[in-house]
Amino acid sequence: MIDVRSVPRRAGSMTEMTWTTPTPDRIGAEMIGIPAGADVVFDLRLESVTEGILVTGTVSAPVEGQCGRCLDSLSDEVTVHLTELFAYPGSETDRTADEEEELGRIEDEQIDLEQVVIDGVATDLPLTPLCRPDCPGLCQVCGVRLADAEPDHGHEVIDPRWAGLAERFGNVGEDSE
Ligand SMILES: [Zn+2]
Ligand SMILES: [Zn+2]
């Protein structure tokens, strides 16, 4: 919530605001998000325009999650860039916008940024977070993290057609160094 009483209602006037506040709830998706209690840094510019207040700037916070390939925990940072118009009650924009349209409004001299931040974070965070861009993931056979495994990690895969033979003659392929 930003109190906008300090923002002059004169088109063209600008107020810059920077503050930090902990998020009461976790924000984000299943695999990655801003943990509850983490500090969210707001660095915003509030510009009075005819119809309301245009909010631009960034909201940044630490994120914690899980790599979508190797399931390792990861931490990162998210920065959401905002450009959002909040209309004065009764302004042309307010009256002409239909209910479906997600128009921000100034209510009781206050701007509620919560939904904007939640939507912004959801858009910005990857659906499949990775601990690193080239994360090799897990071995499909034994489930070991390939990043931790030997570079030539692999398994001798015996063609099922030969499996019967292999059983009869001992483990063909293994110990053949
Ligand atoms: Zn990974
Ligand atoms: Zn393996």
Dump pLDDT digits (tens) for 31-84. 999 999 999 999 999 999 998 999 999 999 999 999 999 999 999 999 999 999
Average pLDDT rounded to a whole number, residues 144-170: 78
Based on the fold, state whether residues 154 and 91 are members of the same structural domain.
no
- Domain-embedded: residue 70: yes
The answer to whether the CB of 69 falls within 8 A of the CB of 102 is no
Give the H/E segment covering residue 111: strand 110-111
Average pLDDT rounded to a whole number, residues 147-156: 90
Average pLDDT rounded to a whole number, residues 136-147: 93
Give the distance (Å) from ligand 2 centre to CA of residue 151. Answer: 11
- Domain-embedded: residue 63: yes
Tens digit of each residue's pLDDT (9 = 90 or more) over 110-120: 999 998 999 99
> Which ligand is in closest contact with the Cα of 137?
1
Residue 32 is predicted with a pLDDT of: 95
Based on the fold, state whether residues 73 and 109 are members of the same structural domain.
yes
> Which ligand is in closest contact with the Cα of 73?
1
Residue 94 CB-density burial (10 A; 0-12 exposed, 13-18 middle, 19+ buried)? middle
Based on the fold, state whether residues 74 and 29 are members of the same structural domain.
yes
Give the distance (Å) from ligand 2 centre to CA of residue 167. Answer: 21
Based on the fold, state whether residues 146 and 89 are members of the same structural domain.
no
Give the distance (Å) from ligand 2 centre to CA of residue 71. Answer: 16
Average pLDDT rounded to a whole number, residues 136-159: 89
- Domain-embedded: residue 176: no
Tens digit of each residue's pLDDT (9 = 90 or more) over 9-24: 888 899 999 999 999 9
Based on the fold, state whether residues 92 and 50 are members of the same structural domain.
yes
Give the distance (Å) from ligand 1 centre to CA of residue 144. Answer: 11
- Domain-embedded: residue 8: yes
Share of the chain above pLDDT 90, in %: 59
Confidence bin at 99 (pLDDT 50/70/90): low
Is pTM beyond 0.95 here?
A: no
Number of structural domains, the chain?
2
Residue 29 has pLDDT above 50, yes or no: yes
Domain that holds residue 74: 2-124
Based on the fold, state whether residues 52 and 109 are members of the same structural domain.
yes
What are the C-alpha distances in Å from 73 to residues 66, 76, 99, 132?
4, 10, 41, 11
Give the distance (Å) from ligand 1 centre to CA of residue 128. Answer: 10
